[in-house]
Each structure stands twice: as C-alpha cells, then as structure tokens.
Chains A and B, each alone.
Chain A
Amino acid sequence: MRHNLVLNTVLTGRLAWLLMMPSVAMADGMVVDKVYHPYVLPLEREVEWRLLSRQSDQGNILAQRLGLGWSLTETMTIEGYAIGERDQDDNFDMAAYEAEVRWQLVEQGRYWADWGLLFEYEKRHKESAYEATVGLLFEKEFGRNSLTLNAFIVREWGEMISNEWESEFRAQYRYRWMSAFQPAIEVYTGEDFVGVGPAVIGLHRFQGQKQLKWEVGFVTELSQVSKDHSVRLALEFEF
C-alpha cells in the first residue's frame, strides 16, 4: 500500500511538472489529435482511422492515419500507424509511420485516480526526421462525468527538422450520458497553440468483443486573432 501511495504521489507530481513546463517549440506540427485514456483491455485488437482537418487563414491542412493495434499483456497494448498528409500542392501522400505503446499502471477505480503511460516513436516518410514522445495519462471519475488529462514531452531530431524539446497538454471532460452519445469539452495546448471545443464520443456494440467507437471534435484556436479551426474524427473498430 505504501508503494501505491508513493506511486500516486510521484505521478501527481510528475503531471503537475509537465503541466507547468512551457511550450518551447515553434509550430511545426498539429496539436489536435486525440485524448488518450489510461486503460488497456487484454485479448483485444483494433483497427483505427483518424482524420484531422485544420482550417486557417493560410489554408487547409489535412491529415489521416490508419492504425492497427493489439494487446501485448493484460496492461500493455501496442499500435502501429501509417500517417498520410496533404501537402502544399494538394497531393495527399504518405507522410510518416508511428509505433505507440500504452501502459495501464493501476487497476481502474482502485485509487483516487487512474494512471497510464504512453510511448510513441515516429519517423517521417523518406526523410531524416524523428519524434519520440512520452506521455502521462490521467483519468478521474466523478459519478457520470470523467476528466481525462494527457501531458506529453516530445523530442524531435533529424537532418530535416530542428532538434528540440516540446511539451503538449490535452484535456477532456466527458459526460457519460448514454453509450452512443457522450458529450465532452476538449482542450489542446502545445507548439504555441491553445485550442478548446466540443466533442462527442460514442460506442456501438456488435456481437462479442466487437464494437465501434467514434469521436468527433471541433477545436477553435484561442491564442491567435486569425482563424484557426480544427475538425477531428476518429473511428475505432475493436475485435
């Protein structure tokens, strides 16, 4: 029990430190993506598709990713992604590959809050540009409401990218109204970006472990006067 208390204290301190850390990077990526939950379900595989469309005065940026994931152990899951982006000439092409490991640290509901870790490694397609991320995942349940926080430290390096450290923070406050319709508010910060907006999360269950989760979000950038809106979609089929 003392170990668990120490773990909770250390994780809380770590999250506070990550939240206080300033964003030091220039805007070279997209911050709006997905808020991760610190849970892993064993015996589960999933296919995932995400879309992000960011509209600003400079034009539209479109990114999609297709992922395949499966649980490695009872508390750890791995997922591989192929990421496509539309370039300045309006050509949509392969942009990067990513591997992601999510690790559930504590049993859901056992302590005051639930904790997890996220590790990501990304390489740009045909370019010497790499990105490694470590994230701390937090979730606290209040009756039918759930607060989820993600804090990330990102290291970028390579010949085609500035070697730099970045930090990102994501938050989601969700009301579990009904399985198919769970309204939420999301916050994304990082890379000089501060965005807030509504989201809806839903789930449709098929037979057995088969289920389809969807997420739709609209995020407006707050720190700039100019237009900067993002729409995100995510579909996850678990089987």
Chain B
Amino acid sequence: MSRNRLALALCLACAPAIALETRSIVLKNHLFSPQSIVVPARQKIRLVIENQDPAAEEFDSFDLNREKVLFPGRKSVIYIGPLEPGEYSFFGEFSPNTARGVVIAREELHAP
C-alpha cells in the first residue's frame, strides 16, 4: 500500500471521531435536563453531562450499555451508539426515582 493510500485509510478510520454529534445534559437537583434527547439513528453520539449537584451520581443504562460516575462540578463524556431507531432509557443510580431520562434515536434526522 502506498503512503498516500495508507494516509487516506488512516483519515477514514479517524473520521467518525472528528464528526461526532454532541448532546449536552445538565444534572441538577437530581434531575436530568433535558430528560429526553433526540439523536440520529445509526450514528455514534457524544453525550456531555454536567453534574451541578454537590454529590456524585452514577449514569446507568442497560439499554445503552453504559455506566459512568458523574463527579460533582464536572462535565463527563459518554459515547453512545450507533443506535437502531428506538428509545433507550437511562437513570441515576443514587436517585433512580427522579434522575431519569431517555435517548430517542430517530431515522428521519438523517433525511436532507
């Protein structure tokens, strides 16, 4: 493989990391805001969650296959997907009754 082809292959391999869409969520008073996040289906997404509470929380989602400690006063990044169209619930382990949310993956967001 020539050096140019190798460089092209490396760039293509990196491309998804460059073009990731980001959705921001705030955790305050043990509530995620917004509680519903719409994302394009079949695409990797970067969730940035800012924990404004004075205590740690743990983001948990079996649907998304993710567990992440959200330290107080910090922004945490969670990479999700690519997701098939559908709804994927998540919650905070320390406040499961209030800290709840859903990621909605929609096909039509890809339409021009």
Contact = CB atoms under 8 A, between A and B. Distances in A.
Given A5-B10, A5-B14, A209-B93, A109 B69 contact: no
A208 B84 CA distance: 29
B69 A176 contact: no
Nearest to A139: B65
Contacts of A1: 14, 17-18
B94 A208 contact: yes
A42 interface: yes
A179 B58 contact: no
Nearest to A8: B13
A127 interface: no
Interface string A140-167: 0101001000000000000000000000
Contacts of B65: 141, 146, 176
Nearest to A109: B79
A17 interface: no
A108 B66 CA distance: 8
A110 B78 CA distance: 8
B38 interface: no
Given A109-B44, A208-B93, A41 B62 contact: no
Contact of A42 (B14, B44, B69, B77): B69
A178 B93 CA distance: 18
A5 B13 contact: yes
B26 interface: no
A30 interface: no
A107 B79 contact: yes
Nearest to B79: A109
A19 B18 CA distance: 31
Contacts of A110: 17, 79
B56 interface: yes
A59 to B, nearest CB: 41
Interface in B60-104: 62, 65-69, 77-81, 84, 93-94
Interface string A21-56: 000000000000000000101110000000000000
Contact of A108 (B10, B13, B79, B84): B79
A12 B69 CA distance: 28
Interface of A: 1, 4-5, 39, 41-43, 74, 107-112, 141, 143, 146, 176, 178-179, 203, 205, 208-209
12 contacts: A42-B69, A43-B69, A74-B69, A108-B68, A108-B78, A109-B66, A109-B78, A109-B79, A111-B17, A141-B65, A178-B62, A205-B93
Closest 6 pairs between A and B when the two form their complex, measured CB to CB:
A109-B79, A110-B79, A179-B62, A42-B69, A208-B94, A43-B69
Given A1-B17, A4-B17, A176-B62, 19 more contacts: A5-B13, A39-B67, A41-B58, A41-B67, A43-B56, A74-B69, A107-B77, A107-B79, A108-B78, A109-B44, A109-B79, A109-B80, A110-B79, A141-B65, A143-B84, A176-B65, A208-B93, A208-B94, A209-B93
